[in-house]
């Protein structure tokens, strides 16, 4: 029997979604037109954030009205649609996902969705001191935490509002809660933190963490700033090796975009994500769901499929499966930075990375 979705508005403008019939049937997994299996969904829970990092958004950012964002029920409905199409890995992003009031309940519901085997989160870590354990108990498996410098003053300068001590407390809380492996993300920005690379790499000597250095990618209103201030993978690696000597290659599964290395005898590893200079599009099996319900097919292209509008117009479960499957099929081979194609319609906080 076809699953019908019914939406009911109330005086506050919110909606409730009729439940998906149990059990729903998992059909043949999604693939794109190049034969890549699409099993990884990154979901932006909100475009809002409690920081204003210079490489992500303008300081005086205007966020989307709340009624344009997915409600909890809408989001969970689309998670189940994805799971029925073979999605087994989900990462929660933002903006900053931990500022969403229902974050623990969302994690618990997503983790309980049949077919979802891996649930992770990318966060700035500011609120993890209080949330790490509840999130772990709700079913979150692991976290990536953003930290772009180990110098408090510089951290405040890059994030405009942040305090580094809050992030350190969040990292330790995540570790104690068992959200392993801990991965620390550093977006390297020229004239801001390229001189901090070696000290961030040093964290892996005594900690079983992966410190990941990310080439800055061009987006939206801050594109000119991003393009001028990119630091390449090769320069990052050279900066680390100038202090610690030649890096050892670690095992690589060709799916994770992070290329892993190790400082000799270190407990942890280093990763380099070179989206701009050495793209890894051939192994990409991910699509993204923006906070306003668009299926974004490539991080660095503006191709999107609107899922929220038909959902609110009454589309049923089978119709939404067809929309998501069709969108995934048209996922482009890769980004077009080499040809001068820049994603301009959204800032990074509106996509979730």
The pLDDT assigned to 334 comes to: 67
Pairing of strands 210-215, 269-273: parallel
Average pLDDT for the chain? 86
Q: For the chain, give every domain's residue range.
A: 28-350
pTM of the model: 0.88
Q: What is the pLDDT of residues 60-92, one digit of tens each?
A: 888 999 999 999 999 999 999 999 999 999 999
Instruction: With CA atoms as reference, report the closest residue to 116 among 79, 142, 72.
Output: 79
**If you classify domain 28-350 with CATH, what class do you get?**
alpha beta
The pLDDT assigned to 250 comes to: 87
Mean pLDDT on 277-287: 79
**In this model, does residue 193 exceed pLDDT 70?**
yes
Spatial distance between the Cα atoms of 339 and 337, rounded to a whole number of angstroms: 5
Name 107's Cβ contacts closer than 8 Å, sequence gap at least 6: 92, 119, 121, 135, 138, 139, 140
Mean pLDDT on 256-283: 86
Q: What is the dihedral sign for C-alpha 138, 269, 195, 336?
A: negative
13 half-sphere exposure, CB direction, 13 A CA radius: 6
**In this model, does residue 127 exceed pLDDT 80?**
yes
The pLDDT assigned to 131 comes to: 98
Crossing angle of helices 128-138 and 103-111, in 10° steps, is 30
């Amino acid at each position: 029997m076809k699953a019908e979705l019914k939406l009911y508005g109330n005086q506050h403008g919110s909606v409730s979604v009729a439940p998906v019939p149990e059990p729903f049937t998992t059909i043949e997994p999604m693939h794109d037109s190049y034969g890549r299996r699409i099993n990884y969904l990154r979901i932006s829970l909100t475009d809002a954030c409690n920081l204003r990092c210079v490489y992500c958004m303008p300081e005086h950012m205007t966020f989307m009205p709340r009624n344009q964002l997915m409600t909890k029920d809408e989001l969970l409905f689309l998670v189940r649609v994805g799971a029925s199409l073979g999605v087994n890995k989900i990462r929660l992003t933002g903006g900053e996902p931990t500022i969403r009031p229902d974050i623990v309940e969302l994690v618990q519901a997503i983790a309980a969705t049949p077919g979802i085997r891996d649930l992770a989160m990318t966060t700035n870590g500011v609120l993890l001191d209080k949330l790490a354990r509840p999130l772990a108990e709700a079913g979150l498996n692991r976290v990536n935490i953003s930290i772009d410098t180990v110098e408090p003053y510089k951290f405040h300068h890059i994030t405009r509002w942040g305090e580094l001590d809050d992030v350190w407390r969040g990292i330790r809380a995540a570790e104690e809660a068992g959200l392993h492996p801990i991965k620390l993300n550093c977006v390297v920005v020229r004239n801001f933190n390229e001189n901090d690379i070696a000290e961030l790499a040093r964290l892996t000597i005594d900690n079983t963490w992966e410190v990941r250095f990310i080439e800055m990618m061009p987006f939206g209103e801050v594109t000119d700033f991003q393009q001028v201030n990119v630091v390449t993978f090769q320069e990052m690696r050279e900066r680390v090796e100038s202090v610690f000597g030649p890096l050892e290659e670690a095992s690589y599964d060709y799916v994770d975009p992070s290329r892993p290395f190790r400082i000799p005898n270190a407990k942890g590893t280093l990763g380099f994500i070179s989206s701009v200079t050495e793209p890894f599009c051939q192994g990409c099996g991910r699509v993204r769901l923006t906070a306003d319900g668009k299926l974004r097919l490539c991080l660095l292209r503006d191709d999107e499929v609107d899922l929220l509008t038909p959902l609110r117009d009454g589309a049923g479960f089978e119709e939404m499966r067809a929309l998501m499957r069709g969108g995934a099929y048209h996922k482009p081979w890769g980004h077009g930075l080499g040809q001068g194609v820049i994603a301009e319609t959204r800032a990074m906080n509106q996509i979730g990375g």
